[in-house]
């Protein structure tokens, strides 16, 4: 009798049915670096287990950014007609939540809103985006190489996915790395450096607004990045 070998899996419980549907659709659409969705059991996603699962954050910064940008270019696919994922504009509603942004510098909030309007007036071709591919969400697999986990699932301008690379890791000093990271990301992602910086500003302020919504407090790290980018 042939022995059946069961591959290790990772079970992830969604916080809501909406979150479950969104992550399932994202994993079904994103390119091959995305973690494999094996099945759905109720409100639990059964995913391949990534082994050893070492995050790219453990690598030197340039190497980490190289791995993430390569993963992004492979993950992005054209958005299909009728795609149910939220748009970039919809993802940025926290920028207009007055309770969330009232504790942030008004000039920075205004700059982020203006930049978002400017970027969306001249968008790149819509793609299915990861939405949150930072240095802790790209893991090393002995079988597959780098694997992207925990997608938010968004549709829109690929520049939106650049922001997390400029504000993470928060336990470092991402603001001090901007002058080196901006041209590097622009080159590797084939985007104008001004566009990379613009999306970085939007995502940095958005990250602080989300943090205020969740905790009532300003985190600070992303705000420092936004202040540098707004200069």
CA angle in degrees (0–180, nearest 5) for 157-153-211: 90
Give the end-to-end CA distance of the chain in Å, rounded to a whole number: 69
Q: CA–CA separation, 160 vs 85, rounded Å? A: 14
Residue 150 designated active-site: no
Q: Where are the beta strands (DSSP E) in 130-206?
A: 138-141, 145-148, 154-156
Q: By the 8 A CB rule, do 70 and 138 touch?
A: no
From the list 122, 126, 132, 214, the catalytic residue is 132
Ranges of beta strands (E only) in the chain are 9-13, 37-41, 44-48, 52-55, 77-78, 127-129, 138-141, 145-148, 154-156
What tokens does 179 get? 């002058």
* Residues annotated as part of the active site: 132
């Amino acid at each position: 009798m042939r022995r059946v070998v069961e591959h290790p899996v990772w079970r992830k419980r969604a916080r809501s049915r909406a979150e479950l549907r969104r992550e399932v659709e994202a994993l079904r659409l994103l390119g091959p670096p995305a973690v494999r969705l094996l099945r759905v059991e109720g409100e639990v996603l059964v995913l391949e287990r990534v082994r050893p699962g070492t995050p790219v954050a453990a690598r030197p910064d340039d190497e980490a950014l190289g791995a993430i940008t390569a993963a992004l270019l492979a993950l992005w696919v054209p958005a299909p007609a009728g795609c149910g994922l939220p748009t970039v504009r919809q993802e940025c509603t926290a920028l207009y939540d007055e309770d969330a942004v009232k504790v942030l510098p008004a000039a920075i909030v205004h700059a982020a809103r203006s930049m978002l309007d400017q970027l969306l007036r001249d968008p790149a071709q819509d793609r299915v985006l990861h939405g949150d591919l930072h240095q802790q969400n790209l893991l090393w697999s002995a079988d597959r190489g780098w694997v992207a986990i925990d997608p938010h699932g968004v549709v829109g301008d690929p520049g939106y996915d650049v922001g997390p690379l400029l504000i993470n890791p928060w336990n470092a000093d991402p603001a001090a790395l901007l002058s080196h990271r901006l041209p590097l990301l622009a080159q590797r992602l084939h985007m104008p450096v001004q566009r990379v910086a613009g999306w970085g500003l939007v995502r940095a302020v958005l990250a602080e607004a989300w943090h205020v919504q969740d905790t009532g407090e300003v985190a600070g790290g992303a705000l420092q990045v936004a202040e540098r980018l707004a200069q």
